[in-house]
Amino acid sequence: MKIGIIGAGNIGGNLTRRLTALGHEVSVANSRGPQSLAALVEETGATAVPATEAARGAQVVVVTVPLKNVPDLPAGLLAGAAEGVAVIDTGNYYPQQRDGRIDAIEDDGVTESRWTEQHLGHRVVKAFNGTYAQDLLERPRPEGDPERIAVPVASDDEAAKRVVRALIEELGFDTVDAGGIDESWRQQPGTPVYGLRAGVAAVTRALAEASPERPADHRA
């Protein structure tokens, strides 16, 4: 599959490693430009591109930049993507440590992924936001393995959600349908499922136990 990855840090770098190893055709971008990604290209065989070109022809695009940088992404980022492109959003809001105050999230109760959708002008599939970057490399397991981790996946785009769930399963993780984007607070930072390394049953339970109240240490 043709996959564009925007953000080449902890998550973007490791997804580039895993997805190229599985034989996918990966274009990867960061903010500093393709020349700064020479080592990752050398290691993985991915193609480094400017962010404006990362989505070109892609069936899946991963947006994996700090939330505060989402508004800096170029307009028309997804313009050249394949029809029906599935856009994975791995983002989290860390107001105190990194992102500063985002009024729509703090005051209006907009979910983090809805806010990102509004900036991208495109529906997203929220996935991997509670997965440790290192687990992408170290904890894939075959289907049926009792230690296989489950990843919650939320989206309003059911077709894109199916594509992303299949890709996550190919990466060595189970998935749990976490509903739509208005419900995706269930997997945001501070919830029981966030950072949980567990299988389908425990992840399903943790999603159900979440409270919509944003914890104080996750507020500005």
Ligand X SMILES: NC(=O)c1ccc[n+]([C@@H]2O[C@H](COP(=O)([O-])OP(=O)(O)OC[C@H]3O[C@@H](n4cnc5c(N)ncnc54)[C@H](OP(=O)(O)O)[C@@H]3O)[C@@H](O)[C@H]2O)c1
Q: Judging by beta carbons within 10 Å of its beta carbon (0-12, 13-18, 19+), is residue 177 exposed, middle or buried? A: middle
Q: For the stretch 106-118, what's the b/e string if a residue is b when 16 or more beta carbons lie within 10 angstroms of its beta carbon?
A: eeeebbbbbbbbe
Q: Using CB under 6 A, which residues numbered 93 to 132 contact ligand X? A: 128-129, 131-132
Alpha carbon 19 to chain centroid, angstroms: 14
Of 5, 26, 46, 51, the residue at the interface with ligand X (CB under 6 A) is 51
- Within 144-173, the residues that bind ligand X by CB under 6 A are none
| Region of 64-72, 140-148, 167-175, 206-214 interacting with ligand X (CB under 6 A) | 64-72
Report how many residues bind ligand X under the rule CB under 6 A. Answer: 27
Our CB check for ligand X shows the closer of 128 and 173 to be 128
The answer to whether 35 touches 61, Cβ cutoff 8 Å, is no
Pick the binder of ligand X from 53, 60, 78, 91 (CB under 6 A).
91
Ramachandran angles phi, psi of 151, nearest 5°: -115, 125
Binding site for ligand X (CB under 6 A): 6-12, 29-32, 51, 64-67, 69, 72-73, 90-92, 128-129, 131-133
